[in-house]
Amino acid sequence: MPHHFDPTVLREYDIRGIIGETLGAEDARAIGRGFATLLKRAQTDAGGSEGVNPKIAVGYDGRVSSPVLEHALVEGINASGCDAVRIGMGPTPMLYYAAASAEDVDGGIEITGSHNPANYNGFKMVFQGRPFFGEDILTIGRMAEAGDWDDGVGTFEHRDIMAEYIDRLLAPLAAFTDGQLDSLKIGWDAGNGAAGPALELLAARLPGEHHLLFTDVDGNFPNHHPDPTVEANLEDLRTLVAEKNLDFGVAFDGDGDRIGAIDGEGRVIWGDQLLMIYAEDLLARLPGSTIIADVKASSALFDHVAAHGGKPVMWKTGHSLIKSKMKETNSPLAGEMSGHVFFADEYYGYDDALYAGVRLMAAAVNLGKSVTQLRSDMPQMINTPEMRFQVDESRKFAAIDEVKERLAASPAQVDGTDGVRVTTDDGWWLLRASNTQDVLVARAESDTDEGLARLMAQIDEQLSLSGLERGETAGH
């Protein structure tokens, strides 16, 4: 039986929709069938063992709708001749860990709505150790339309990997001698997301003093929305850090793959600023390494990487695109403004906010400075938040091409890696089309208010020449 997906759910980096409106159990079953069929065919093409079913790890987040989708997904996987390894509820990086570390696992699917509203859910996938996105996701849609699925019989097993995962998270601290980390005092905010239970187990084994917020998993997110890139969502953590006089605070998104942080004075440490700390720590051990950040990152980050002997690379926004670029360049560290941080020096190269929290502890001790001091040492750039505004789907990429064409003769430095990033004496501005929505994204950074105003005027001028205007839009 062919299956038709709502066209809005097949996204660039994942599959995502609104439960009961654009996404339901039948969609989950079709995803299971398509993914399992592709894995079976890849196994056959590679000359794999006949009669041996590939294994797919399946995990899910704390959303109310997740268990129903998980059940249907496993049915689909089994119906196309793959076996499911059900690891239960946990953060997305625990699913990534299962796919990366278990020798008998060939792929993985996490059911998660990430940082989206409570009525959303979706799927993030790993296929034979690589990210599954873009054209892969469109292929799942085309196979469903045609009913192009292999038939088979699969089994499932339940496998508890939480304890093993926690052990692995602690590995970066093994090299420290007794007492080096004992003075650290840290606040953690799980935001009622899927990372809560893992965080409780982790914090119980960490050296130092730890204060936890909202570790109970509740898919209705009663305390605040689990998106640490929105400053308002860090207020509870900021209060905790101030009241307990903590060194710093760490927050997670709904599925634990994105990190947010504040220092001891309550200042936000944005994604690119965290990457500055991680890069300085890593480059002391691995000089000359390639460090990747997305086009939304501060110029201060790229300068910082170069100043510490690294090779900075600016790349396209999107966790799947960054992971792919890391493999291509053999980069041990990458990150995005959105709080995805990827470690491949002593870890697996995927985004894991719990691991990133542990690495922040390690970096502070290695560098001999508090996180607050590290934050204070950074250049005081003046920048805009990420500005997102609605543009008709048919215009969004065309408008970017028009801007590129107009700027071709300009004396400004223009980088077309992902949209248009223009560097002038005042700083830089960015205009790019979102891969997942009908919006344009803009950002600008300068070291003076006047410079920032001039950069914003350039953005507005280019939009106007393409018959568009800047205006905020809600949502992600």
Contact 443, 296 (CB under 8 A): yes
Provide DSSP, 235-246.
Answer: HHHHHHHHHHT-
Dist CA 18 CA 25 (whole Å) = 12
| Largest Cα–Cα separation, the chain | 68
* Helix (H), strand (E), coil (C) string for 37-79: HHHHHHHHHCCCCCCCCCEEEEEECCCCCHHHHHHHHHHHHHH
- CA 276 vs. chain centroid, Å, equals 17
b/e map 421-460, b = 16+ CB within 10 Å: bbebebbbbbbbbbbebebbbbbbbbeeeebbebbbebbe
* 353-367 vs 162-170: helix crossing angle, rounded to 10: 20
Residue 114 appears among annotated catalytic residues = yes
- Work out whether strand 248-252 and strand 156-158 pair parallel, antiparallel, or are unpaired: unpaired
* 92-101 vs 353-367: helix crossing angle, rounded to 10: 90
| Nearest CA among 424, 434, 435 for reference residue 461 | 424
Residue tagged active-site, from 65, 80, 114, 331: 114
| Nearest CA among 193, 344, 171 for reference residue 257 | 193
Task: Return all residues near 40 (Cβ < 8 A) that are at least 6 apart.
Answer: 53, 54, 80, 81, 82, 150, 152
| Nearest CA among 456, 474, 475, 472 for reference residue 464 | 456
Task: Return all residues near 445 (Cβ < 8 A) that are at least 6 apart.
Answer: 298, 299, 381, 382, 383, 384, 427, 428, 429, 452, 455
E-assigned strands of 257-401? 259-263, 268-269, 290-294, 311-315, 333-335, 341-343, 382-383, 387-390
Alpha-carbon distances of 395 from 9, 274, 408, 468, rounded to whole Å: 20, 34, 20, 10
Phi-psi region of 42 (alpha: psi -120 to 50; beta: other; left: phi over 0): alpha
Dist CA 359 CA 362 (whole Å) = 5
In 368-448, where does DSSP find H-type helix? 371-376, 393-407
Known catalytic residues?
Answer: 114
